[in-house]
Amino acid sequence: MNFPTDHIERIKEFGYTESEARFLYIVAVHSGYFTLGQFRNFTGTAYGKRPTSFAEKVLKRGHATIRDYMRRGSIFHLFSRTLYGQIDKDNLRNRKRHSFDFMRSRLVLLDFILANQDLKYFETEQDKVRYFCDELGVPKDSLPAKVYEGGPDSKPTLRYFVDKFPLFLSSPFSGAPPVVTLSYVDSGFETSSHFVSHLGAYQGLFRQLKSFRFLYIAAKDAYFQKAEERFRSLVKRPLESDVSGEILRYFQVRGKWERHEYVVPVTEDFEFLNEARRRFHGDRFESLYQAWSTGTITERELRLEFSQLKPDRPVFFETFLVHEHRSPVAEITRRGDGCVKDTRNPRRHRSRHPRGAAKLLGA
């Protein structure tokens, strides 16, 4: 993990120790949320004066708020624009308030980062866009993106990699060269449709990569097998298989669908059909489908049409279990969050700080 010396020194100017500054840097860049348990794990300390002192410090300086969950613990939200500005990241959305689902996933994500500090992460949206577009030559319109509507007097903003899941280079197996590793963080409360939607958003990028690794990160291993099945069906098999076979399967599934032959829904077929419609669209495929449907083109002729399009792109899928994950919101149910007490402390150093307001505004 990269700890820019100047950024760590800037955080220390607020009165934090070296280890506290490093922890806050990780939180600011990767999650925005943390628990004292995660701070203790990072610093190797137990309950007592040190974590208590850190908590008081981050609250009194107005750098974080705390959300208390009766009998469950507390979550700290690092929101201070001043502190983020000290590390030139005052535009990160981690500063914003978020839903419980977002907070859950961020805490699992932070556990992963803390357990894998040896990896070199692409920390910002700009880092990721620069790597894929400038170094790998991926067209920008193939990147996962989301449009944020602006106010009455501002234009919509297009943002990339808004999920902010860990992205880094790593070897898929011992002795192999490193490949780009993308990931998905399962908070333990999401349905499989969230994962399918995430894969759909990345399909354009997947197709542009010669090889990549995908990591499914979760606090529970209950969904690992199902996640791998979905990934193989929607990503790995289409990218590694004979394209002509995928087109033929698309025509067959589409034909059965249009002839209303599905008495009992087949989830895998429907998911494949939706994805295939995005992959194989346009006049060429439509003409071939109509010709295949009417019998004017045979299966052999169809395969010959795409015989030269067999790709060679190894795709790797792995899972990572975040051990001993403890989240204060892990047990919050749909009945509501009446047990939540949001404590806001005075925001000190909002416009004044050791390096001067002018520098922050220009960061």
pLDDT tens digits, one per residue of 54-98? 999 999 999 999 887 645 678 899 988 888 888 887 666 666 666
Q: What is the DSSP letter of 354?
A: T
Identify the pLDDT of residue 311.
57
Rounded to an integer, what distance in angstroms lies between the CA atom of residue 272 and that of residue 287? Answer: 20
Q: Is the pLDDT of residue 202 over 60?
A: yes
E-strand stretches of the chain: 33-34, 64-69, 73-78, 145-148, 157-160, 168-170, 179-186, 212-218, 315-321, 340-343
- Mean pLDDT across the stretch 201-206? 92
Rounded to an integer, what distance in angstroms lies between the CA atom of residue 240 and that of residue 310? Answer: 8
* Three-class SS state of 77: strand
Environment class of residue 227 by beta-carbon count within 10 Å: exposed (0-12), middle (13-18) or buried (19+)?
buried
Do the Cβ atoms of 170 and 120 come closer than 8 Å? no
Stronger pLDDT, 337 or 300, i.e. the higher one: 300
Quote the percentage of the chain above a pLDDT of 70.
82
Residues 6+ apart with CB under 8 A from 351: 82, 357
Environment class of residue 86 by beta-carbon count within 10 Å: exposed (0-12), middle (13-18) or buried (19+)?
buried
Mean pLDDT over each residue of the chain, to the nearest integer: 82
Rounded to an integer, what distance in angstroms lies between the CA atom of residue 93 and that of residue 31? Answer: 10
Which structure tokens are listed for 6? 């100047």
Rounded to an integer, what distance in angstroms lies between the CA atom of residue 248 and that of residue 246? Answer: 5
Identify the pLDDT of residue 176.
83
- For CATH 1.10.10, the residue range(s) in the chain are 1-97+333-363
Q: What is the pTM of this model?
A: 0.73
Do the Cβ atoms of 108 and 99 come closer than 8 Å? no
Which structure tokens are listed for 342? 């949001």
Convert the pLDDT of each residue in 7-33 to its tens digit.
Answer: 999 999 999 999 999 999 999 999 999
Q: What is the DSSP letter of 172?
A: S
Angle CA 311–140–90, to nearest 5: 130
Rounded to an integer, what distance in angstroms lies between the CA atom of residue 179 and that of residue 181? Answer: 6
Identify the pLDDT of residue 308.
56
CATH 1.10.10, applies to 1-97+333-363: yes
Environment class of residue 73 by beta-carbon count within 10 Å: exposed (0-12), middle (13-18) or buried (19+)?
middle
